[in-house]
Amino acid sequence: MTPESAPTALSGYAARHFRWRVEDRVGHITLNRPERKNPLTFDSYAELRDLFRALVQAEDVRAILISGAGGNFCSGGDVHEIIGPLTRMDVTGLLRFTRMTGDLVAAMRACPQPIVAAIEGVCAGAGAILALASDFRLAAPSAKASFLFTRVGLAGCDMGACTLLPRLIGQGRAAELLYTGRALGAEEGERWGFFNSVVAAGELPARALQLATDIASGPTYAHAMTKTMLHQEWNLSIEQALEAEAQAQALCMQTADFRRAYEAFAAKRSPTFEGN
């Protein structure tokens, strides 16, 4: 079974290059090469891209939780399985690869489900981009995010870093991280706004799962619209943004979830959202 062959349900999808499961409407992605700190390969890049693309049509998944096995999030592109082969490619092959990695970020931003990244230990290179492209970043005290591209002779403008990172933490701080490649620790990262919060050691899995579960139990269409507008409005004038938000909110007001929320409020009880 492949993601493309499952337009309405992904609970039965058997991932090949990472762990995947759906539980309580939360899709769990676990990068699972702990002996190498969970690096990405050509195949895992492509499979992640295809899965996030398929999530646009997945009716059984309302939030995504992405994490790494063995105490680390992701060490970036595998030195032996990606970096080495790249040094031997011609420009056509290199451009095919860099466009594929960018397509993964585009798919993450385009999928309607909010993405929660649970980050501990190493979060470097492409791993830091996976965290950056997520909607929430929860960190253990051990988390260290590093944009290492200049350390290997590459530009810091990799996989959308030069557009996404300044939006998150500001131009000057983004420049510092992208030029130097230094590690951003958990506490500093929280102060800078890269991490939403730092969670006590040992509590990260439960806290991240709770956040993802809370999102999954909320108004699905409204969450998807919020994600879409947060992403799109960077390119709009204030007048365009106001009109776009007026249209988006009018659509949300037509949903059954909106009506249920009103009825629950009137009856002084908590609303139950069913995703329509």
Domain that residue 250 falls in? 220-266
Is residue 124 located within the same domain as residue 237?
no
Pairing mode, if any, of strands 26-31 and 63-68?
parallel
Distance (Å, whole) CA 208 – CA 119: 9
Each residue's pLDDT tens digit, 158-203: 999 999 999 999 999 999 999 999 999 999 999 999 999 999 989 9
- Same domain as 25, residue 119: yes
- Please name the residue that has the structure tokens 């409020």: 265
Which of the four pLDDT bands, split at 50, 70 and 90, describes residue 56?
A: very high
Same domain, 83 and 147: yes
Say if 275 falls within a structural domain: no
- Tokens for 21, please give them: 């499961």
Q: What are phi and psi of 214, to 5 degrees?
A: -60, -40
What is residue 1's predicted lDDT score, i.e. its pLDDT?
43
pLDDT the model gives residue 120: 97
The dihedral region occupied by 202, where left means phi > 0, alpha psi between -120 and 50, and beta the remainder, is left
Q: For residues 14 and 29, state if they share a domain.
A: yes
Q: Is 26 part of any domain?
A: yes
75 shares its domain with 211:
yes
- Answer for the pair 128, 177: CB distance below 8 angstroms, yes or no: no
Q: Is residue 144 part of a domain?
A: yes
Mean model confidence pLDDT for the chain: 92
Both 57 and 142 in one domain: the answer is yes
pLDDT in tens, 207-221: 999 999 999 999 999
Q: What total of structural domains would you count in the chain? A: 2
pLDDT one-digit tens code per residue, 126-165: 999 999 999 999 999 999 999 999 888 889 899 999 999 9
pLDDT given for residue 8 in this prediction: 65
Q: What is the pLDDT of residues 73-95, one digit of tens each?
A: 999 988 888 888 888 989 999 99
CA–CA separation, 211 and 71 (whole Å): 20
